[in-house]
Amino acid sequence: MPFPDLSGIGIIHFGGISNYNSLQAKLEKRTSHGLGFLATYTWAHALDDTSDAGGLSTAIGDRNMALIPYTEEYTNSPYDVRHRLTLNGNYQLPFGKGKAYLNRSWLADEAIGGWSTSLTFAAQTGTPFTVYPSIGTANGGSARAILVGDPFGAGGSPNSVNNPSLTACPSKVKTKANWYNPCAFVNPLPGNEITGTSMVTDEQSAVAYLGGRSNVIYGPGYYAVNMSLFKNFTTFREQYLQFRADAFNLLNHPTWGNPSNQGIGPQGGQITSEKFFQNNTPDARFLQLSLKYAF
């Protein structure tokens, strides 16, 4: 089949460098004595330099490609999750007919026999994001703040010359008020310094005006526990009625999103919203009762 006609298109970027590495460990106990579970741990690292990584359309911001090559944009992917731990377990409670305890009473079997429970636990580290300047910057791409210190170290001295709006450094980090320390960043050169007699024509100068790489620090991770309790009531032959109670986010643990203020001003690193999973995923504890008839 011939290649399609691409005439009339000035620049086509078929994608830059993408790199994904992962290691996984698994521990499984097959069901015995009513208990079975599967635990997994995954270490992964995703990096790329493309402007549409993973089809997200909000990924790596390629800046002035005439001066800054793609290799200088190679950084953590926006969906990079470094560590993830999961546990899925099922347990048949040892009560009732055919079980170890209370197995001789019809009434006890009907009341507490045949119940099963399941539990899922998932925990993972956060995803990266970009910190932005607090000054007017040069055209030619999204400018970024420059990392000069430990973003998760508290205290320090603000750079009042480079960033006059920042007059104090937070005494605590990884909080809702300051997830990171804005004093660990400085602004790139102001865009108004570029004049007709001082045009930027080389990569080093362009980086000085547009800042460092994107996605250099990570936001909050999360963990969640879901649990179910259920029992099947036999009705006719292989048909049964199942009653179940489900608890989502059993521990009612809040899950914070990446900072809403991703700048280096006084509110740099402020978190104002929860992490978004999907529309039907509750953030607070959610209880559900249901009946299901299988035939």
Specify if 4 maps to a domain: no
Those residues whose C-beta lies under 8 Å from the C-beta of residue 72, and which sit 6 or more positions away, are 203, 207, 213
* Domain presence at residue 10: no
Does residue 1 belong to any structural domain of this protein? no
Residue 258 in domain: yes
- Whether residue 99 lies inside any domain: the answer is yes
The model's confidence at residue 128, banded by pLDDT at 50, 70 and 90, is very high
Q: Is the pLDDT of residue 40 over 60?
A: yes
**Which residues span the domain enclosing 112?**
18-294
The structural domain count of the chain equals: 1
- 10, pLDDT greater than 50: no
For residue 245, pLDDT beyond 80: yes
Which whole number is the average pLDDT over 44-63? 69
- What digits encode the pLDDT tens for the residues 165-221? 899 999 999 999 999 999 999 999 998 888 777 778 888 888 889 998 899 999 999
Q: Would residue 11 count as lying in a domain?
A: no
pLDDT recorded at residue 7: 29
pLDDT at residue 132 tops 60:
yes
**pLDDT (0 to 100) of residue 292:** 93
pLDDT, position 151: 96
State percent of the chain over pLDDT 70: 88
Determine if the pTM surpasses 0.85.
no
Residue 132 lies in a domain: yes
Q: Note the pLDDT tens digit of each residue in 57-105.
A: 456 667 777 788 877 888 898 889 999 999 999 999 999 888 888 888 8
Asked if residue 118 belongs to a domain, the reply is yes
pLDDT of residue 112 exceeding 80, the answer is yes
Position 6 scores a pLDDT of 29
Q: What is the reported pLDDT for 282?
A: 60
